Amino acid sequence: MIKRLALAAVLLLPATLHAQDVVKGSSNTAVQVEKPARDFVMLQVAYEGWKAPDSVKTTGFGRAFNAYICYDFPFSPKSNFSFAAGIGIGSSNVYLDDQQIILTDTIAKQARFIAETDNFKKYKLTTAYVEAPFELRFYGNQANRNKGFKAAAGLRVGTLVGAHTKSKDGDTKIVEKVNTKNFLESWRFATTLRLGWGNFSVFGAYNLTDLYKEGQGPKITPYQVGLCITGL
């Protein structure tokens, strides 16, 4: 009988302690503390445009997609500011308007944009970068960063890992793809700005470097405007 009572006391002890904690908690006024989101993940979809001379003609909706994994370093436990750094990929597709890019000029050794003569239905340049974003961040809601106003300004550093032109013939529907990074600038630097609420924001990015190396193509400066989703 004594053994049974002892066993019952052992089994009831955790529940009794938990009940005591609840009572103790209910008798005191406590501040609710939520683990702040660090915005580890950033996904961006955007329009990509070119600031370019009149000789370069684009058409349609240039598309860009960026995905980053970031780590956030708060300035202090009570600060609304933090610094973030990360790594990820950035890719874009820009369509030309009745033009094509000549990349086989061994005399001038530069990319040339000329009027297309092959009846292309579509012609685009695709680029892909491995990038590292750096941001100075502000959070309006210190307790829960998934809510409230957010702002971030920073710099994006990327290195070119792939590029190709792709054309589709309007009559035969033959698709021709040329993989080459020839004449393109190997590195890109861009300033960035994000403004939003909760997990959603709008962002802009403007390149500090041109698309082509100096003297090896027209002076083209890419920029992006789009939507960003952050979380975790």
Residue-averaged pLDDT of the chain: 86
Question: For 22-26, 46-50, 162-166, 177-181, which range has the lowest pLDDT when averaged over its residues?
Answer: 22-26
Position 129 in a domain? yes
pTM over 0.85: no
Range of the domain at 225: 38-231
- Reported as a single tens digit per residue, the pLDDT across 13-34 is 344 434 443 434 444 544 444 5
Position 168 in a domain? yes
Domain count within the chain: 1
Look at residue 89 and tell me whether its pLDDT is greater than 90.
yes
Instruction: Name residue 165's beta-bridge partners.
Output: 125, 178
Position 77 in a domain? yes
CA separation, residue 30 to residues 23, 33, 46, 131 (Å):
13, 9, 43, 43
**Amino acid 48: pLDDT:** 98
> The domain that contains 180 carries what CATH number?
2.40.160
Using pLDDT thresholds of 50, 70 and 90, give the confidence band for residue 12. Answer: very low
Position 198 in a domain? yes
Average pLDDT over residues 122-149: 93
Look at residue 218 and tell me whether its pLDDT is greater than 90.
yes
